C-alpha cells in the first residue's frame, strides 16, 4: 500500500466518487466542524472514539456526496497513545481493504496530531493492509484487495519525513511476514538466502553466506546434524549493517528451521503444516536488518540466520546420537524434535568468534512450553545480563511486542546433564522453555551479555489482531528496531 502526502482539498484528493474522507477522533471528542447529521448518526451508533472503533456515514458537501469515516484513537492523554493511533489507522484499512475503494484520504486539517502521531496512524494502516494472495487464484472480485493508497492531507510539516522512518519499519515487517508465510517447498535454506540477496541489494548491508562444506570445516556438527536428513542443504547467513556507533556490533541470531517435521522424533500430523513458520526467528532478524538499513540506522548491527530443514530420511540423525558442536562441546540428541537449540548453538558460537559482539540476542520459535505458559500474549525472555533484559523489556513495551522474563539457574542447568556427553538436548518433563535456554547459555562466552527470546507463540496468529490479519504477524522486527533506537541511537 502506498502512502502519499498531498496539499489538495480532502474532497478531491481521492480517486473515488464519492471519495472516502477519514478523520481521526479522540474518545468522546467528536469534531465540532462535522455536519450535525454525522454527529447525530455517530452518537446513535454508540461511536465514542474508543481506540480502533469506526463509524461511517454519507453527507453532501456542495455538489458532492462524501463518504466520511471516523476512526477512534482513544483518550488523547493515554499512556499507550501510539498503540491506539495505530489501531485507528488499522481500523480504516481493515474496513476498506477489499471494499472496492482504491484510495482513501486521511484528512488532518485542524487536527492536533503531531508528526509522530500521524506516522503511528499510517503505520497501523499499512501493517493491517499486508496480505499474501500470491497462491489464491479463485478469489471473487469482492474478496480481492482494492485499496492501494492512502492520501494524507493537512499533515504537520515534518510528518512526511517522520513517516519515512516508519515506512522502513513497515517494509521490514512485511518482508518478515512474507518469509514466514511462504510454503516450505518455496522457502528453504537456499531460497531464503536468495530472497535476502535480492532484497538487500543496494541497501548497504553486506551479506556473507556459508555453505555446508564451509560449516563442516568449522566443525558445526550440531547444526549439520539437524540438516543431514534433508535434501535441502543448510546455510548460514550473516547480514552486516554498519551505520556507525560502537566498534563491537550488537548481534541478532535467528533460528531458521524452514520446515520442522520433528525428524525421527516425528511430530503428530495434525497441524504439522504450521511448521513452515519454524523459521520465524530468522525471518524476524532478516526483517529487522532490512528496516535498520532502509531507515539508515546509526548503529553497528549484525544479523545471523542459521538455516536448515529438519526431515526424517534414511540419513537423519537418531535419538541417542552424539554430535560435536563448533564450540567443541558434545551433545547427546535425546529428541530430534528439539532441533532449534542445535542450530542456535553453532550459529551463536560462529557469531561470537567472527564478530566479537558487544551483546547478543537470539530469537527462536523454540518450545511449545512457552505457549503453554504465556499463550499468545508474550514472548519469553531469558538473559544473563540485567541491563540487556531491562532494555529488551522496555523495547517490548514501547513497540507493542511484549516480553516476559523467566528464571534461570544451576538447578535447571543440571537437568540437561548427560551421562555420556557434555549435555543432552532436552531436560525433563517440566520447565522445557527454561532448560532450552540453559542449553543455549552453555554456548555463550563468559562476559558476553546475552538474551534468548522464545517467540513460538507470537510469530503466527490464528485470528486477526489490531495490525495484522490471520497468519504471520512479523513479530520481532519492531522489537529489535526499538531496541536499536532506544539503546544504540539515543
Q: Would you give per-residue pLDDT tens digits along the chain (490 residues)?
A: 999 999 876 555 444 457 899 999 999 999 999 999 999 999 999 999 999 999 999 999 888 899 999 999 999 999 999 999 999 999 999 999 999 999 999 999 989 999 999 999 999 999 999 999 999 999 999 999 999 999 999 999 999 999 999 999 999 999 999 999 999 999 999 999 999 999 999 999 999 999 999 999 999 999 999 999 999 999 999 999 999 977 999 999 999 999 999 999 999 999 999 999 999 999 999 999 999 999 999 999 999 999 999 999 999 999 999 999 999 999 999 999 999 999 999 999 999 999 999 999 999 999 999 999 999 999 999 999 999 999 999 999 999 999 999 999 999 999 999 999 999 999 999 999 999 999 999 999 999 999 999 999 999 999 999 999 999 999 999 999 999 999 999 8
In a domain, 161, yes or no: no
Q: Do 187 and 149 lie in a common domain?
A: no
Q: What does the pLDDT read at residue 330?
A: 98
Q: 95 catalytic, yes or no?
A: no
Tell the burial category of 326 from Cβ atoms under 10 Å away from its Cβ (0-12, 13-18, 19+).
Answer: buried
Q: Do 208 and 149 lie in a common domain?
A: no
Structural domain ending residue among the three candidates 155, 182, 205: 155
Q: Do 144 and 175 lie in a common domain?
A: no
Of 273, 444, 249, nearest to 345 by C-alpha is 444
Structural domain ending residue among the three candidates 99, 121, 155: 155
In a domain, 78, yes or no: yes
CB 281, CB 480: distance < 8 Å: no
Q: Do 147 and 174 lie in a common domain?
A: no
| H helix or E strand, kind and range, residue 209 | strand 206-210
Q: What does the pLDDT read at residue 246?
A: 78
Q: What is d(CA 86, CA 69) in angstroms, rounded to the nearest whole number?
A: 16
In a domain, 428, yes or no: yes
Domain count, the chain: 2
CA distances from 301 to 140, 161, 197, 202, 487 (A): 44, 24, 17, 17, 12
In a domain, 142, yes or no: yes
CA angle (395 as vertex; 391, 400 as ends), nearest 5 = 155
Q: What does the pLDDT read at residue 10?
A: 55
Q: Do 322 and 463 lie in a common domain?
A: yes
CA atoms within 13 A on the CB side of 327: 23
Among residues 341, 478, 482, 485, the one annotated as catalytic is 341
Q: Do 269 and 149 lie in a common domain?
A: no
Q: Do 392 and 310 lie in a common domain?
A: yes
Q: Do 321 and 404 lie in a common domain?
A: yes
Peptide bond before residue 116 is cis, with ω within 30 degrees of 0: no
Helix axes 115-128, 159-181, angle to 10 degrees: 20
Among residues 61, 131, 195, 267, the one annotated as catalytic is 267
In a domain, 243, yes or no: yes
Q: Do 388 and 473 lie in a common domain?
A: yes
Q: What is d(CA 402, CA 404) in angstroms, rounded to the nearest whole number?
A: 7
- Beta-bridge partners for 142: none
In a domain, 345, yes or no: yes
Q: What does the pLDDT read at residue 64?
A: 86
Domain hosting 466: range is 168-487
Structural domain ending residue among the three candidates 106, 127, 155: 155
The CATH number given to whatever domain includes residue 150 is: 3.40.220.10
Q: Do 138 and 259 lie in a common domain?
A: no
CA dihedral 454, 459, 465, 468 (to 10 degrees): 140
The rounded radius of gyration (Å) of the Cα atoms in the chain is: 24
Q: Do 201 and 79 lie in a common domain?
A: no
Q: What is d(CA 58, CA 17) in angstroms, rounded to the nearest whole number?
A: 12
Q: What does the pLDDT read at residue 15?
A: 43
Q: 267 catalytic, yes or no?
A: yes
pTM over 0.75: yes
Q: Do 323 and 351 lie in a common domain?
A: yes
Amino acid at each position: 500500500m502506498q502512502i502519499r502526502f498531498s496539499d489538495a482539498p480532502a474532497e478531491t484528493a481521492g480517486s473515488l466518487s464519492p471519495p472516502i474522507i477519514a478523520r481521526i477522533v479522540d474518545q468522546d471528542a467528536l469534531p465540532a466542524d462535522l455536519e450535525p447529521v454525522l454527529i447525530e448518526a455517530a452518537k446513535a451508533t454508540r461511536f465514542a472514539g474508543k481506540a480502533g472503533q469506526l463509524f461511517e456515514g454519507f453527507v453532501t458537501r456542495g455538489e458532492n456526496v462524501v463518504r466520511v469515516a471516523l476512526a477512534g484513537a482513544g483518550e488523547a492523554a493515554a499512556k499507550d497513545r501510539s498503540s491506539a493511533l495505530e489501531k485507528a489507522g488499522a481500523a480504516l484499512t481493515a474496513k476498506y481493504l477489499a471494499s472496492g475503494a482504491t484510495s482513501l484520504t486521511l484528512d488532518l486539517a485542524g487536527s492536533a496530531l503531531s508528526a509522530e502521531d500521524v506516522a503511528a496512524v499510517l503505520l497501523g494502516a499499512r501493517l493491517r493492509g499486508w496480505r499474501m494472495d500470491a497462491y489464491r487464484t479463485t478469489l471473487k472480485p469482492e474478496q480481492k484487495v482494492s485499496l492501494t493508497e492512502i492520501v494524507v492531507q493537512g499533515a504537520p510539516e515534518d510528518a512526511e519525513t517522520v513517516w519515512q522512518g516508519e515506512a522502513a519499519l513497515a517494509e521490514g515487517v512485511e518482508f518478515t511476514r512474507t518469509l514466514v508465510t511462504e510454503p516450505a517447498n518455496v522457502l528453504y535454506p537456499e531460497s531464503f538466502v536468495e530472497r535476502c540477496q535480492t532484497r538487500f541489494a543496494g541497501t548497504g548491508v553486506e551479506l556473507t553466506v556459508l555453505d555446508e562444506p564451509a560449516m563442516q570445516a568449522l566443525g558445526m556438527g550440531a547444526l549439520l546434524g539437524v540438516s543431514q536428513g534433508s535434501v535441502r542443504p543448510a546455510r548460514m547467513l550473516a547480514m552486516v549493517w554498519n551505520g556507525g556507533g560502537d566498534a563491537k556490533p550488537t548481534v541478532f541470531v535467528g533460528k531458521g528451521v524452514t520446515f520442522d517435521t520433528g525428524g525421527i522424533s516425528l511430530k503428530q500430523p495434525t497441524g504439522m503444516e504450521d511448521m513452515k513458520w519454524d523459521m520465524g526467528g530468522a525471518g524476524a532478524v532478516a526483517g529487522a536488518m532490512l528496516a535498520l538499513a532502509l531507515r539508515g540506522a546509526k548503529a553497528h548491527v549484525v544479523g545471523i540466520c542459521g538455516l536448515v530443514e529438519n526431515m526424517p530420511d534414511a540419513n537423519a540423525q537418531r535419538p541417542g546420537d552424539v554430535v560435536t558442536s563448533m564450540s567443541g562441546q558434545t551433545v547427546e540428541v535425546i529428541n530430534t524434535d528439539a532441533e532449534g537449540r542445535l542450530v542456535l548453538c553453532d550459529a551463536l558460537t560462529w557469531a561470537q568468534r567472527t564478530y566479537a559482539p558487544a551483546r547478543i540476542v537470539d530469537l527462536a520459535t523454540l518450545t511449545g512450553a512457552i505457549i503453554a505458559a504465556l499463550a499468545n500474549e508474550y514472548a519469553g525472555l531469558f538473559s544473563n545480563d540485567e541491563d540487556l533484559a531491562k532494555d529488551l523489556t522496555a523495547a517490548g513495551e514501547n513497540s507493542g511486542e511484549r516480553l516476559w522474563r523467566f528464571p534461570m539457574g544451576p538447578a535447571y542447568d543440571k537437568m540437561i546433564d548427560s551421562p555420556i556427553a557434555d549435555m543432552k538436548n532436552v531436560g525433563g518433563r517440566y520447565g522445557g522453555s527454561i532448560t532450552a535456554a540453559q542449553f543455549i547459555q552453555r554456548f555463550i562466552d563468559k562476559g558476553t551479555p546475552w538474551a534468548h527470546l522464545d517467540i513460538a507463540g507470537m510469530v503466527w496468529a490464528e485470528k486477526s489482531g489490531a495490525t495484522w490479519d490471520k497468519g504471520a504477524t512479523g513479530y520481532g522486527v519492531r522489537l529489535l528496531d526499538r531496541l536499536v533506537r532506544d539503546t544504540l541511537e539515543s
